[in-house]
Structures are given as structure tokens and as C-alpha cells.
Chain A
Amino acid sequence: MEEIEREEPPGVDASEDVAASGDAADTEASADEANAEESPVEWDEPENNRKPRAERVNLTTDVEKDDARKIVTGEARYTADYSRRFPDLAHGTVVRSEIAHGYVTAIDTSDAEAIEGVYAVVTPRDDVVPDTLYSSSGQSYPEPSPWDMRVLRRHVRFVGDPIAAVAAETSEIADRAARAIDVEYEEREDVFDVEAALEPDAPRLFEDDEVENAQSGADYGRNLESHFEGEIGDVEAAFDRDDVRIHETELETPYQSHCVPEPHTTIAYTDEDGRYTFITATQVPNHTRRQLAHVFDVPIRDVRVEKPSVGAGFGAKQEMAIEPITFALHLAADRPVKLEMTRREEFYALRSRHPMDLTMRSAVTEDGTIVAMDLYARSNAGAYGTHGMTVASNVGTKALPLYPRVPNVRFEGDVVHTNLPMGAAMRGYGAPQGHFAVEAHLDEVARDLGVDPIEFKRNHAIRTGDLDDVSTILKDDDRFARRIRSCGLRECIDRGKDAIGWDEIEQPDEDHLHRGVGMAICAQGSGVAGRELGAAKLKMNEDGSFHLHVGGVDTGTGNDTMFSQVAAEVLGCGPDDIVVTSSDTDVTPFDYGSYASSTTYISGTAVKKAAEDTKERIRYWGSKLLEESESNLETEGGEVYSEATGASVSLEEIGYEATYGHDEREQIMGDGHHSTDESPPPFGAQFVDVTVDEETGEFELNELVYAADCGVAINPPLAEGQVEGGQHMSLEYATSGGLEFDDEGNPQTTGFRQYGMPRTTDHPPMETILVETHEPTGPFGAKSIGELPTNGIPPALSNAIRDAVGVRLTSLPITSEDVKAAIDRRGAENYSSN
């Protein structure tokens, strides 16, 4: 494997590459110094965590993704592919509300039940369908989302709410039976607009007895699922100062669909021990197990959730969206049941990114110092509150911390119910909305001041040593204030700027074409501070190989490969010597699941600890066989060797000796778990190069560059893949996508053809730059990378168009028509002001 030649990553103090010359550099250097004094970056880092690049044999090499061969041969098994295991499998279909708001008054299932091949029809009146209120959010316990939904619903709140379900011999029969079910409704007035939904006389979606576990600031009389606010400093006083200018930007963001390649699919059956088993496409096996047990009032131990290969999640599969209906159908049909969503259902009946409207204000002095920022986000939760409050709160707590030098910061949010499909978790989790507001707004402020937007942001931006208390703006205590121990943001900016050719942009020859470049800086977290747990166990086979059982969930990002690399790095073997099993609640230890950019950071650290624990026992046996002190022994290249004498013994010899030894025997095993209050942000800079036709508003993206600091990149090609895929999703959010509804709330976007997900021909050239820093709290210096790259293109594109033709786009997706309209408005304004 070719080793990339590169200098050792500088230490934390030097990792902030400052501009090479001039006063700016001096100012930054001294600011860094002052910062370091006030805010020490020390961290009690385990000695073995910091390895120079050349010694990270198993981490930096391009280890093949462990399921790559299964994938390219079609042998990877996703949930639906398990159907053939069950000869008597029934196929399920869901009957969904055809009205946006009302009550189901009667369901006639007799015609459906009479169809040959129908095994079961379930409605809310059936005993097997619990009436329990719950949240489908797949979050920690108690869920920070209201319990506001039932398995099947009498009170329907959007077109697509599940009312009944059918299990039949084939999916065709199930569909036919579903169409034969007659539903009568008592319609209620509906509301689709967030502003209208907050009015006192608006139709009410939830009565008080229809919600448990309500969230802070909830006021269901006003359709308000949650209201929150937080402040640092005194924003009003700062806005009142005489020496500041106040800037304000209003922005709007749309629904975005996850477009998971594999539609949500679950197979439910009862095994030979009478235990309820779910093979299901999920990011959260353990939360799903707990929530199913709660809804169906069965012991947690009697529920087993197995995660096979998952055709991606992006947050859609953090939801327990279809497992409860599958369970009810299984109980009613008394045979294994598979429920597989259609693409149509994926678009209109499941979950999406929350649409929001946002107002961003700032107070800035004439010399370009931001003295206050104020962000308001109003989120359209749709019909249910799953992830409503938490996504909306992340709007502020991910983007605003990029500017910890601003002394006065306020953030406020409202989460509002309407009769539209529910928003929920989606890659970025509120951060894309927040970054759009903050990064487009500050770009405009810089241009208004007549300063370079990059320098303006750089001056205020976060750096190593900062104590980031903005991320705690909504919390009562500062326990979670993040000490920034690794920050390659300035290197991301510099290298991205070079790569896009920021200073050498040439204008096209045609007068009506204008080229511009835009930049946005980005941050995310690594797991949820103080609310995560990952665990792993490792056992050694007699041939020196290992089985790793880990609760962390790979939904396609390559986490299983990363786990094997981390364990191999500790154990001194190859990643191939480690068989990874993840994740089956009967077999693998607990893990919160794959969300919040937590897997490498949290679950990866658990794997590292499990490997270290195992290594201790290997050293013990090495010490017996080599007759040397354990403290002299190290593992590498499949051997335990003595640093003192050079004597060595292979892992295989140790495996056999431990298993079949004459005087003593042991199953060599280790375990590890990790929970932490830390959540170090990865950082990035997104660059967009665009050419705009001033006459038509049409624009073409010439290039995308993303420079990302994810700490040490474990398996760089997989990390690059995350950045490229994140940009794809961000590009869609910026330029296409969005869901449309008619006046009665009927979905108009129900397939890929209407939705407009970018295809190969829609992608401009993309470049990814991995900027390496070292995060001392992460496994071998790693932070997260999964969500970070979804945050940048909307603001960077808005900024690039502003650079090209002087208009500011504040509503997504940005279309040619919008640009044309903005150019026309600009013309009219210029005209009138003359």
C-alpha cells in the first residue's frame, strides 16, 4: 500500500495554520496565545492514542470495505432478501388516511377479509393493536420527543396517517384487500401553514389527552409542540448600542426527503423460544427494541432486533416507523410478516427534513466586529413531534458555535404542528437550516461592510483552545461547554480557497454571464454530549483471529470496516483477522445506534477499549510463553514480541495455548464501553464556483470543493466518500428536491421523477480535501464526518450567486426563476433609487 508522504500533523498549538504574513497573522498568533492561556487544551489522553501517521498501520491504509465483495456480487442481504427464509411469509400493506385532518368513524373490513389469501386485517379496534401513546423517534430514554402517536390512528392528522393494515399471501393480494377496505371519516378543518397554525382560532391537532411526555414550552392549544430560547450575554443591549449597525435576513427552507435507497422494510416473526424477532432496516436496534416493548407491553428481553445490511438511513431509519404495524400484523396473522414500504410511501407517509423559516439578525460595529447574533427558527413539525424539539434546537447549537468570539448570542425556536407529513431526523439534523441562515447572513454582512467575506468569518471563527459555550445556549448548566481541542478550520479555508482558485476566477467572455465563488464554514458534533453509550466485546479464537461484537450500526458508511481497523490497530493484527458482528440485540452489547455522527467517535472508542482489554490478556499469555515481564511486551504483525529481547510468539500460538493449555485455560475476551460528556465538532469549509446568466437567471455550478477536518481520518477513502455523498445531499437541498402538496394536503411529490434528486449528469466536478488534525478525546485522534458535509452548499451557493450577480437568495431550493426574479427586483430597486 502506498504511503502518502506528508508531514506529521502538527501539535494542537500549531495546528491552527495562521496566515503567513502581515498584521493579520500577528493578530491571530497573539489571539491564539491569549486563548491558550485562558483556555488550556490539555486532555488526559491515553498514551497509545496518539500515533504518528507512519505507525498507524491499520488506520491510514486503504482497507477494503469489509462488505464490498458481498455488495458487488449482489450477495449482501438486506431485509427484503430474507423473505425466502420464511416459506409461510405474509406480505403486509398499510391503509393510509386520504384526508388531512379528521376522525375515522367507521372501517368496514368485511370485503377485504373475504378475499382469498388474506390472513389478517388490523384496525385500531383489534386487541393486537395497542392503544399506547409513544414516540417513534428512536432516541434515548426518556425520549426528548413527545409521545403523541398510536400504532394505528383514529384521529388522523395528515394524508398518509396509518389507519389499518393487511397481511396476505402475496403483496398483490394485500394491496387488493387494502383497496377493499371502506373508511368513513368525520373531517375536521385542516391547517398547512405554520403561521396560521399558531393562531388562536386555528384547528387544533392534539387534545391534552392525546400527548404524554410533552416537551418544554409545549402549548397544544396553539399547536406548539415546543418553544425554547437561550441567551449568552445581553443581546438586546448590544442591539441598542449606538455604534452598531443591525443586519437582518429572513430565510426559508423546504422539506427534503431522505430518499433511502432501500425503502423501510421489516420482517417480524416469533422464534422457536416464543421470542418476538424483527429483522429490520434500522439505525437504532436497541431503541427500537425498547420502544416496541413499551408499545406492546412485553418484556424487553422477549424482543430481538436484528440489523442485516441496511440500504442507508440518513436518519430516516432512526425512526421506528413501521416495526409496530408489522408486529401487530404478525400477531394477528400468526405467521411471519414482511412489511416493505413503497417509494410512494417513502415520499409522503414517512419522514422528511423539517421545513423551517428563519430570521437571523446581527449587530456589527463599523470596524467589522460582530457584537451580537440573534437567530430565530420556526420549524414545521408536520403532524407529529418526533425529533421536533431536538432538530430545531440543533439549528442554533451547531452553526452559532462557529463564532464563539461574539459575546452576545440569542437563539429561539418554535416547533409547530400542521396537517402535513412529519419531519424527523435527517443527516445534519437542523444544522443545514442553521448554517444556511448564519453563513448566508454573515456573508451579506461582510459584503455590506465592504470586507472579504472569508477574512470576516475567519476573524470571528472558532479556534483550538476555545471554550464553546454557545453550544450550551439552551442548557441550564455549562457542563457541556465544549473545549475545542482540535480545529483545522483555518487550514480547511486556506486549502479549499486554493483548490477552487478563489483569487484567480476569470469572468466569461459573454457580457450576460457572470462567475462568482462562495464559501461557507461548517461544524457538527461527534455524538450527543452526555447522552450516548457504545459498547463492544471481543473474543479471541484459537487461530489468533477475533470476533468483534459491537452494538454500533453500519448503515453503509463503512463503520464495520472502521471497527475492525481500530481493533486491529490495538491488537497488532490485520483488519481481516477480525470478524465483525453488528448489530443484533440478542448478541451484541448495547449501543444508542448510528446517529448524531456518533459511530466512529463513541462506538469506535468502545471498540478500542474492548481491544485494549483483550490485549491485556494476550500480554498475560505472551508473558507465560515467552517468560518475560508483561510490561516488556507489545503486539504487532500478528505477534506478541518482547521489546527487550526481540523474542516473539504468534497470536495463533497464544490462542491455542490459552484454549488448550496444560495447566491453565482461558477464553481470551475483552470488553469496552464508552460514554462521555464530550462531543468535539468536526469542521469544514464548503466552496462553490458558479456561473450565472443575468438575462435568464440560469446558473451552472462549475465546481464544488469541500475541505473537512474530521481529526484523524480512519480509512481516508471511506471518509472521502462521506464528504462526496454529503455534498450530493447538500446540492439537492440547495437546488432541487422539496415536497409539494395541493390545497387539501395531498402529496404531489410521490416519486423520484417529481422529486428531482441529482443524477450523475447533474453533478459538477467535486473535490474533497481531508485536513488532518488530532482530537485527543477520539479513537486514535478521530472525530466524526458523516453529517458535516451536508451543511455547506445552500449558503455557499447563495454566497456565490451574490458574488456573481449581486443578488441574495434566501429561499431553498434556489431555482433559475428565483435568481431571475431577484435580478429583476434588483433592477427595479436600482431604478427606483435612482
Chain B
Amino acid sequence: MHIDCTINGNERMFEVSKSDLLLDVLRRNGYTGAKRGCDTGACGMCTVQIDGEPTMSCVTPVAKADGATVETIEGLGTQDDLHPVQQAFVDNSALQCGFCIPGMIMRSKALLEENPDPTEAEVREALSDNLCRCTGYKKIVEAVLDASDRLAEQAVAADGGRAATDRCCDCHCAGDRPTGADRRGETDR
């Protein structure tokens, strides 16, 4: 079957089988930022956003993405121009092996879109579906709180008529920045 979706702002068409899971289709097509951690939706390492909702792509039938807007870590920022959430993870040393981090960032971004000024307890609650084995979570939670501040500052700057950067916090606008996977533009198999 065909599915059509918008991935990181780019319209994509994939040939898939009905039983395919979103994670497999994403990874086959170069979106390898989403990681395979458990295949049971229990670790969060494959988290992406579908229509703004954080979603475990390893247990999500690809059909759910048909006609939807999918955001993956590849759509956020580049190494030279990080999204504020990414920048906060870097600046707070909130990463070690990094395998859980794309999922953590996608989950954190979804949280901050819904609740721009969360308490520490709210951050911990929101991230409780995402496991990390290396960090003890402390720096990750600090990074999310830091990201919240950064986004608030950015919003203030934008209100004042001067956009601090060319991106906003509810970042459905990254389509102008095709990622490596998007640039290749191939379809599935």
C-alpha cells in the first residue's frame, strides 16, 4: 500500500506493507535518528511526533502516519544551528551514549509545546515513558527546564519584534531545511 505523509515539512510517499511499523519505515528511509530500543513501546528511544503528539514509533502501525504530519529529530536543527531544546541538552551535558537522546528530545519538545513552563515534577512525569541508562536523568531534567527558559526568552524577543532566531517553539516550520534523508528523496524499496 501507499502512504502519504509530511515528514519534517516535506511531503513523502512510501510503499509499505500493512503490517509495517512506523519505526521500520522511518529507519529504512534514512530517518535513523529514531532508535530501536525495545520494540514494545516501553523505552521511548523511538519517540517521534505525529501531528504534534509524542508517539512510540516502534509500536505504531505505519498506516497511522498516512495523511499525518510526522516530525523526527532530523527535522529539528542542524549541528551548526541547534533547536533550543537540542542546545540545552548540549549545554547541560545531558547526554552520554546518546542512544535515548533523540527520543528524549522529541518528548521534551512535545512537552514544552503543550506546557511551556513546566515544573520539575511535570518534566519528570512527561519524560517517564523514556528510559535513559547512562545519565541518572538529572542533567536531562535540568536541560528541559533550561530549554523552557530559552524558549520563553526567544518568545519575548519575538514579541518585541525581533526574532532571535529563524525558528519558533512549535516548530512545524522546519520544512525549509531538508535533512540528509529528505534530500535523498527516495521511496521505500
Q: Which residues of A contact B (CB under 8 A)?
A: 62, 64-65, 67-78, 80-81, 83-84, 258-263, 309-312, 314, 340, 342-343, 555-558, 717-718, 720-721, 723-729, 751-753, 757, 759-761, 763, 766
Contacts and interface: CB of A to CB of B under 8 A. Distances in A.
23 contacts: A64-B91, A67-B98, A68-B90, A69-B86, A72-B73, A72-B105, A73-B33, A74-B34, A74-B102, A261-B43, A261-B132, A261-B133, A262-B35, A262-B99, A311-B35, A311-B99, A343-B42, A718-B93, A721-B135, A728-B135, A751-B40, A753-B40, A760-B124
Contacts of B140: 760
B136 to A, nearest CB: 3
Interface stretch (B62-70, B76-84, B152-160, B165-173): B76-84
B164 interface: no
B84 to A, nearest CB: 11
Given A69-B90, A72-B90, A260-B133, A84 B33 contact: no
A247 to B, nearest CB: 34
Interface in B98-128: 98-102, 105, 123-125, 127-128
Nearest to B87: A72
A602 B140 CA distance: 30
Contacts of B90: 64-65, 68-69, 72
Contact of B82 (A67, A73, A718): A73
A71 B98 CA distance: 5
A65 B133 contact: no
B183 interface: no
Nearest to B98: A71
Interface of B: 27, 30-40, 42-43, 45, 72-74, 76-79, 82, 86-87, 89-91, 93, 95-102, 105, 123-125, 127-141
A72 B73 CA distance: 8
A261 B134 contact: yes
Contacts of A68: 89-90, 93, 95
Contacts of B73: 72-74
B137 A261 contact: no
A753 B43 CA distance: 9
A312 B134 contact: yes
Contact of A74 (B72, B133, B134): B72
A717 B96 CA distance: 11
B128 A760 contact: yes
Contact of B136 (A81, A556, A557, A763): A763
Contacts of B38: 343, 751-752
Given A76-B98, A728-B137, A752 B74 contact: no
Contacts of B87: 72
Contacts of A77: 32
Given A555-B97, A721-B96, A69 B79 contact: yes
Given A73-B76, A73-B82, A261-B99, A65 B136 contact: no
A259 B135 CA distance: 13
Contact of B139 (A80, A310, A721): A721
A71 B133 contact: no
Contact of A721 (B37, B77, B89, B93): B93
A29 to B, nearest CB: 37
A80 B37 CA distance: 11
Given A556-B96, A724-B138, A760 B89 contact: no
B45 A73 contact: no
Contacts of A718: 93
Contacts of A759: 127-129, 131
Contact of B37 (A67, A84, A261, A555): A261
Nearest to B126: A760
Nearest to B34: A74
Contact of A728 (B97, B129, B136): B136
Interface of B is mostly: loop
A556 B97 contact: yes
A261 B97 contact: yes
Contact of B32 (A64, A81, A729): A81
A761 B42 contact: no
A783 to B, nearest CB: 19
A809 B166 CA distance: 57
A367 B81 CA distance: 66
B100 A261 contact: yes
A462 B79 CA distance: 47
A309 B96 contact: no
Nearest to B189: A170
A342 B39 contact: yes
Contacts of A260: 133
Nearest to A757: B131
A721 B134 contact: yes
Given A69-B86, A311-B97, A761-B125, 12 more contacts: A72-B89, A72-B95, A72-B98, A72-B102, A259-B131, A261-B43, A261-B99, A556-B96, A723-B136, A727-B136, A752-B42, A759-B128
A73 B129 CA distance: 20
A556 B93 contact: no
A72 B42 contact: no
A84 B96 contact: no
Contacts of A80: 27, 32, 36
A76 B32 CA distance: 9
A65 B87 CA distance: 12
Contacts of B37: 261-263, 343
A786 to B, nearest CB: 11
Residue picked from B77, B95, B125, B129, most chain A C-beta under 10 Å: B95
Nearest to A557: B96
Contacts of A727: 136
Given A311-B35, A343-B37, A760-B127, A72 B93 contact: no
Contacts of A78: 35, 99
A73 B74 contact: yes
**7 shortest A-B CB distances, which residue pairs?**
A74-B33, A556-B97, A311-B99, A71-B98, A724-B136, A74-B73, A261-B99
A263 B123 CA distance: 27
Nearest to A561: B93
A635 B125 CA distance: 50
Contacts of B30: 84
B98 A556 contact: yes
B136 A766 contact: yes
A245 B80 CA distance: 67
A359 to B, nearest CB: 32
A725 B134 contact: yes
Residue picked from B27, B35, B133, most chain A C-beta under 10 Å: B133
B42 A753 contact: yes
Nearest to B45: A261
A717 B95 CA distance: 11
Contacts of B128: 759-761
B101 A312 contact: no
B137 A760 contact: yes
Given A343-B40, A760-B128, A763-B137, A71 B45 contact: no
A433 to B, nearest CB: 20
